[in-house]
Structure 1
Amino acid sequence: MRLQHPTGMAAEERAAQYLQAQGCRIVVRNWHCKSGEIDLVAWDGAVCVFVEVRLRSSEQFGGAAASITASKQRKLLLSAQTYLQAEHQTEPECRFDAVLINGEGHIEWLKNIIGM
């Protein structure tokens, strides 16, 4: 099992609170499988949302959004497929979102970051 840095845990907690304030229901945190990890799984109405949380103190290397590379997106897709196979009898409508937190604590919620 991977140990998570306290700063990362705090960022995921902030992201979860933010999404809940927006009306989402958080159902899973830090779900792991062979393919990778999903930071948060939430329901936004009838849509199952897989959320990647990114914290960046600086925009120097492109910021938080730029850190979600094509490789990371593939891992998210594989992890989500594994999650759905393990947890759901039927496949719900799904979406991949990102919650970005910068060094000043500003939160940005990007919806549908991976086109399916």
Structure 2
Amino acid sequence: MKAKDALGQTGEELAARYLTTAGYHVLERNWRCRQGEIDLVARDGSTLVIAEVKTRSSLDYGHPFEAVSAAKLSRLYLLAAAWTREHAEGHVSWRVDAVSVLLPGGDRPPVIEHLKGIG
């Protein structure tokens, strides 16, 4: 496995734990369809949450949230609609969130940040 892939998987695992601790119920990880992939699908109360997870080992190339471009955000909205059509019955309230995971290494703990309702 490539180091980048391992970093991403670790970040997604930490993000899922973070959301669970915050009271979310994680429904699915790495859901795929022909339009792309959703990192995490969760419920926050009655709201469906489509979460994009961005993981970095440093800030050398910018903050992880900076990697959520307008094009990526548009794709996430399309993916949210696709997931909802496939899994939800009736009207579903949903939003797109972003979770940033910074893994500095050594003895330093991960830094996790969560933005709700991006876009």
> Per the alignment, in what secondary structure is the counterpart of residue 11 of structure 1?
helix
> Per the alignment, in what secondary structure is the counterpart of residue 91 of structure 2?
coil
- Aligned ranges for residues 7-22 of structure 1 at < 5 Å? 7-22=7-22
What is the CA distance between 1:59 and its match in structure 2?
A: 2.3
Give structure 2 stretches of 5+ with no counterpart.
105-109
Could you tell me which residue of structure 1 aligns to residue 117 of structure 2? Answer: 112
Give structure 1 stretches of 5+ with no counterpart.
none
C-alpha RMSD over aligned residues: 1.3
- Aligned ranges for residues 29-68 of structure 1 at < 5 Å? 29-68=29-68
Give CA-to-partner distance per residue, 1:30-87, whole Å, 9 cap, x none.
0001111100000000100000000122323331111000110111111111111111
TM-score (norm: length of structure 1): 0.89
Could you tell me which residue of structure 2 aligns to residue 6 of structure 1? Answer: 6
> What is the CA–CA distance in structure 1 between the aligned matches of 2:81 and 2:64, rounded to whole Å?
24
Give CA-to-partner distance per residue, 1:87-114, whole Å, 9 cap, x none.
1121311111111011331000111112
- Give % identity: 38
Query: Which stretches of structure 1, 4 residues or longer, exceed 4 Å deviation after superposition?
Result: none
> What is the CA–CA distance in structure 1 between the aligned matches of 2:58 and 2:112, rounded to whole Å?
14
What code does the residue aligned with 1:79 have?
Answer: L
What code does the residue aligned with 1:51 have?
Answer: A
